[in-house]
Amino acid sequence: MKGILGLLKQRAPPRDESQDSILFSTAFAGQGVDSSMLVPWEARAVEVGAKRLSPSRGGKLLQALWAKDRYMTPLQADGVERMERFFEFASVPANRDLILQDEYGNFMVVLLTGIIAVDRIQPWGEHLRLAETRPGDILGEMSLLDSGIRFSACTTLTDCEIAVLSAEALDDMMNQDPQLAASLVALLARKLSLRLRVVSARLSDHHK
């Protein structure tokens, strides 16, 4: 993670497409993951019947939620506004699998409205409900940051509105607004670390 942050914090050179960052959009290939194994948001959106949400509504929801999130407030309203153009906003019906456990996916999701269940099937077959998320929660950022498989499945329990950030969009942010991208990655890493601590404690308690 320190290596990623170091790259992000470097001063951006003059615009030159040959020098554009492709750190996140090529990371899975760098880990030996064949492109046929990768599930991008475009494919998942079709599978779950997602419908486009107007950027004005999606952006307002995102701003309102992150303004109340103590971990995301360092971005401030101006930062979130600048970030909105890199997100896709969508509405998704209930009972749809946005993320599947053990798949490779290069996007993360911010829940704007509704409830999403986070479930994991343990290697011995036990099914665990890890969480039922609330608006403002972020899902799938671990795979986006480390190019690994999904740790759990995320299923809409109600009709939901979401914001989606893909690896390609994150690379675009790095090229066009590197300071903003550095801030976002640092905050995502912090939130992810805290969430993993909670999940780890829960799994430990479950085994007692």
SS3 at position 112 = strand
For the chain, list the domains and their CATH numbers: 37-170 (2.60.120.10)
CA atoms within 13 A on the CB side of 35: 2
Q: Is the pLDDT of residue 3 over 80?
A: no
Q: Is the pLDDT of residue 182 over 60?
A: yes
DSSP state of 49: T
The tens digit of pLDDT for each residue in 47-69 reads: 999 999 999 999 999 999 998 98
Task: Provide the mean pLDDT of the chain.
Answer: 86
Q: Is the pLDDT of residue 195 over 90?
A: no
Look up tokens 């992810």; give the residue.
192
**What was the pLDDT predicted at 73?**
82
Look up tokens 């905050």; give the residue.
187
Confidence of residue 207 (pLDDT cuts 50, 70, 90): low
The answer to whether the pTM exceeds 0.85 is no
Distance in angstroms between the alpha carbons of the first and the last residue of the chain: 32
**What was the pLDDT predicted at 13?**
43
C-alpha span between 144 and 134 (Å, rounded): 21
Q: Is the pLDDT of residue 6 over 80?
A: no
**What was the pLDDT predicted at 172?**
96
**What was the pLDDT predicted at 12?**
41
Tokens encoding 57: 């509504």
What residues does 52 pair with on adjacent strands? 90
C-alpha span between 1 and 197 (Å, rounded): 17
Confidence of residue 145 (pLDDT cuts 50, 70, 90): confident
